[in-house]
Amino acid sequence: MTYCVAMSLHEGMLFASDSRTNAGVDNVSTFSKMTTFEVADGPHQRCIVAVNAGNLATTQGVVSQLRRRALVDETHILNTPSMFDVAELFGQAIKTAISHAEENQLTQSSVDFTCSFLVGGQIRNEAPRLFQIYPQGNFIEATSDTPYFQIGESKYGKPIIDRVVRPETPMAEALKSAMVSFDSTMKSNLSVGLPIDVLILKRDHLKPSLRYRVTEDDAYFQNIRKAWGQGLRQVFQGLPQPDWFHH
């Protein structure tokens, strides 16, 4: 399992993804689930960020397919005029990769080849945009009412983001909520784990402002984890008993 979150804020965009692909006593693998597509300058200048959940082979197939098409196709992810077109290319690539995997499976085992992506970024002369792309290839766009998306094991980390994140939320506060969200998820589901890849794309910069990998030794994350746990216990202990409860 995995957990990824992406936020579209007034200041820019924040992306975060865990790196665990298998959970078990002695079978844990680490693969980055974050990919960037960048054009540094010129008329097609852009920075596109994708985080993924689902079958690892399928997601790698999607990314490889998009990179290969950028070398041979006339229109591709590095020169499309809008992020909407980028989302369409991702949707097509997902459908193709899943179909290919299902056609070539060696047995009739119940392997789940599906995957999903959060894709966002900014293209020159366009505002930043964020999309959630489903295994069927269709997608939805983030709005001021729904400024963030999650994929993977999202339910444990959703409450904190729901309470904190709005389009006007400062990036530093959004990052803090993302870290608490990941901690809550990891506490409840061992299939999500460190390291966490973080990328911040500030509005109109057209290149990453921050790339960071949160590891087990990261002092800030350990402090957040400790302070959040202690804070929750203190708030819980301060809550009153229901007036209809009798000892």
* Mean pLDDT, rounded, for 42-70: 96
> Quick check: pTM over 0.85?
yes
* Cα–Cα distance, 144 to 10 (Å, whole number): 10
Domains and CATH numbers, the chain: 3-238 (3.60.20.10)
**So what's the pLDDT on residue 107?**
61
* Mean pLDDT, rounded, for 83-89: 98
**Any alpha helices (H) in the chain, and if so which ranges?**
56-72, 83-103, 158-164, 171-188, 219-238
Confidence of residue 247 (pLDDT cuts 50, 70, 90): low
Average pLDDT for the chain: 93
**So what's the pLDDT on residue 155?**
92
* pLDDT, tens digit (0-9, with 9 covering 90-100), for 18-51: 987 664 545 557 889 999 999 999 999 999 999 9
**So what's the pLDDT on residue 49?**
98
